[in-house]
Amino acid sequence: MSQWTHIAGCIRIDSVVDPTVKLTLKNQFGNTVEFDSPEEDWNKCNVPCGSEGSVQYRIEQTGDDNSLAWGLIYIWGDLRDYDNVQEIYDWINRACQGLMIRSCSVKVDIEGKNSFIIYENNETLFCSELHDLKKCDGKCAVIYDITDWEYCPTCGGMLKLKEEKP
């Protein structure tokens, strides 16, 4: 049985004024591959990668070159035979060097193990393990409001769902 890691998130970039920023960002975020990519592309891949492809990203400019909200970087992937959340964190952290990051939220789910959120606070990236999450039985959809989260008293920086009051 394979180990899968699922990734989904978004990074918001502010105040970028370099007109060649898309090319710069492409160089910073690196080369990706898909399952059917040619071998030469696999050899150039320098982002977190499973046995059937790598993490993917897309750069979208949503404002003017000197707009407060310049754009977004979407990140997603389903990595087979992969479970290295530290490598994903290091890749995002390295790729964001020199950028003004207004917000970042990337969720990393390692099947059968833990889930993590890579997030930004005061232009610094952090990685928090999610634990004690209540599982849905699949018969309903549950949406948690941000007020349902708190800092974990045992690990300091990790977030967990608050206990329900009887």
Question: What pLDDT sits at residue 61?
Answer: 85
The pLDDT of residue 55: 98
Q: 3-state DSSP call for residue 88?
A: helix
| pLDDT in the model for residue 96 | 86
Measured from the Cβ of residue 2, the count of other Cβ atoms closer than 10 Å reads: 11
pLDDT at 16: 62
Position 91 scores a pLDDT of 93
Q: How many whole angstroms separate alpha carbon 81 and alpha carbon 4?
A: 6
pLDDT score, position 140: 31
Report the distance separating Cα 25 and Cα 38, nearest Å.
23
**pLDDT at site 139:** 34
The pTM assigned to this predicted structure is: 0.74
pLDDT of residue 148: 45
What is the number of alpha carbons within 13 Å of residue 21 lying toward its C-beta? 23
Write down the pLDDT at residue 122.
61
Say what the pLDDT of residue 65 is.
62
In order of start, what are the domains of the chain with their CATH numbers? 4-130 (3.30.70)
Q: Which residue has the tokens 């979208």?
A: 60
What's the confidence (pLDDT) of residue 131?
Answer: 41
pLDDT tens per residue across all 166 residues of the chain: 789 999 999 999 886 656 667 778 889 999 999 999 999 999 999 999 999 999 999 999 887 766 678 889 999 999 999 999 889 988 998 898 888 888 888 999 888 887 888 877 666 666 666 543 334 333 333 333 334 445 444 444 444 444 444 4
